[in-house]
Chain A
Amino acid sequence: MRIHLRDPETLKQVKPLQLVSYLRGRGWKQEIQGEAAETWTLVQEGETFEALVPLDPDLRDYANRIADLLGTLQAVEGRSESQVLSDLLSSQHDVIRLRSVHERGSNGAVPLKFGSILIQRTTDLLLAAACAAVEKRAVFPTRKPTAALDFLDRLLLEQTERGSYVLKILSPVEPLLQQMLPFEEPDAEQPFARRASMVLMQALHATRTAAAKAMGSGLMQPFEEAVQMGVSANLCEAVAALQQESGTNSVEVRMTWSPTRPLPRPIPDRVTLSPDLAPVLQEAGRMLREKSPVDDFLLTGYVVQLRREEQQKEGTATISGLVDGNVRKVAVELDPETYQAAVDAHQQQLPVSCEGELMRAGRGFQLAHPRKFVVLRED
Chain B
Amino acid sequence: MLGMTLENQMEQFSHAYVRAVASVAGFSVSRPEVDDDSIDLAIYCRGPRGTVRSPRLELQLKCTSRPLLSAGGLSFDLKIKNYDDLRWSDVAVPRILVLVVVPDQLTEWLEQDQEKLVLRRCGYWMSLRGRKPSGNQSTVRVACPTDQFFSVQALHGIMNTIGGGGFP
Contacts and interface: CB of A to CB of B under 8 A. Distances in A.
Interface in B20-66: 32-36, 39, 47-54, 56, 58
B93 interface: yes
Contacts of B85: 60
B54 A52 contact: yes
Nearest to B86: A60
Given A34-B165, A49-B48, A52-B93, A64 B53 contact: no
Interface in A6-62: 6-8, 11, 34, 36-37, 39, 47-50, 52, 54, 56, 58-62
B52 to A, nearest CB: 5
Contacts of B92: 34, 36-37, 52, 54, 59, 61-62, 65
Given A52-B56, A59-B90, A64 B32 contact: yes
Given A59-B92, A60-B88, A60-B91, A67 B51 contact: no
B27 to A, nearest CB: 15
A71 interface: yes
Contacts of B165: 34
Contact of A68 (B33, B36, B49): B33
B90 A64 contact: no
Contacts of A291: none
A75 B47 CA distance: 11
A6 B88 contact: no
A79 interface: no
A76 B48 CA distance: 9
B54 A50 contact: yes
Contacts, number: 80
Nearest to A54: B92
Interface residues of A, number: 31
A68 B50 CA distance: 11
A72 B33 CA distance: 13
A91 B64 CA distance: 48
A308 interface: no
6 contacts: A48-B47, A48-B48, A49-B51, A61-B92, A61-B93, A65-B92
Interface of B: 32-36, 39, 47-54, 56, 58, 85, 88, 90-93, 95, 165
Interface of A: 4-8, 11, 34, 36-37, 39, 47-50, 52, 54, 56, 58-65, 67-68, 71-72, 75-76
Given A59-B90, A59-B91, A64-B32, 17 more contacts: A11-B34, A49-B48, A50-B51, A50-B53, A50-B54, A54-B92, A58-B90, A61-B91, A61-B92, A63-B34, A64-B33, A64-B36, A64-B58, A67-B33, A75-B49, A75-B50, A75-B51
